[in-house]
Amino acid sequence: MKNILDRNQDKADEVRKLLREKNVVMVNLISSPGAGKTTLLERICENLGNKMKIGIIEGDITTDRDGQRLKKYNIPIVVINTEGGCHLDSHSISKVLDLFDLNALDVLFVENVGNLICPAHFDLGESFKVAMVSTAEGDDKPEKYPMLFREAKAVLLNKTDLIPYTNFNLSNFKKDLIKINAQIPLFEISCTSGDGLREWFEWLSEQLDIFIKI
């Protein structure tokens, strides 16, 4: 495992160097299946597509269904099927970067394979990770999967409009998150109703400005 992670890190460093040279910010979006990653990307394209040049890498075990959903936004999309693999790695990212015109991009979103464990261990060369969870999954995810919440630069709590219909305890979720990463920003959103998305978009835009200026 150490050898695998070391090789992955070497390639991740190469990817990061290339993206920095091209002034492209790469955001690694990690969540469980069904948390709402693709719907979030739809909202991002709709609200920020006229302000920044977006590309997307879609990671999935099989099919290109998520990629097909995003084609209507007329942005460059590449689908990576892992054929059973539980995460993307830096080598798979490196192989598809040539399919993008990096000079024409500001930000490259990676929708990682739905999984809270393996994707947190593998650096893709991203500028930062974003953890996404939904209220339908329960409030214990930070405590059960702490590495992701330590590694992420922000947390999105999606489907907040469903809280009245679940046993999700928001107070417990926040307490566990603070114990793991007291400084991490939490955005309570609903990609369906639009609640909280404005604050998330503002934060994301600020981060892109910061990384491009570094």
Cβ contacts of 203-209, under 8 Å, gap ≥ 24: 203/154, 204/27, 204/44, 204/48, 205/48, 205/51, 205/52, 207/25, 207/127, 207/128, 207/153, 208/25, 208/52, 208/106, 208/107
- Going by the DSSP 8-state scheme, the letter that residue 41 receives in this structure is H
Task: Name the percent of the chain lying above pLDDT 70.
Answer: 98
Average pLDDT estimate for 39-60: 96
pLDDT for residue 172 is more than 70: yes
Question: Any idea what the CATH number is for the domain that residue 141 is in?
Answer: 3.40.50.300
pLDDT for residue 3 is more than 90: no
The model's pTM is 0.95
Neighbours of 28 (CB within 10 A): 28
| Predicted confidence (pLDDT) per residue in 89-145, tens digit | 999 999 999 999 999 999 999 999 999 999 999 999 999 999 999 999 999 999 999
pLDDT at position 146 is 97
The answer to whether the beta carbons of residues 131 and 156 sit under 8 Å apart is yes
* Domain range for 30: 2-213
Q: What's the CA angle centered on 160, arms 109 and 122, to 5 degrees?
A: 35
Residue 27 token pair: 């955001």
Quickly state the pLDDT bin for 1 (edges 50, 70, 90). low
Q: How far apart are CA 126 and CA 25, in angstroms?
A: 7
DSSP labels for 158-200?
Answer: E-GGGGGGS---HHHHHHHHHHH-TT--EEE--TTT-TTHHHH
Using CA atoms of 19, 12, 28, 107 in order, give the dihedral in degrees to the nearest 10: 0
The answer to whether the beta carbons of residues 113 and 60 sit under 8 Å apart is yes
Instruction: Count how many domains the chain has.
Output: 1
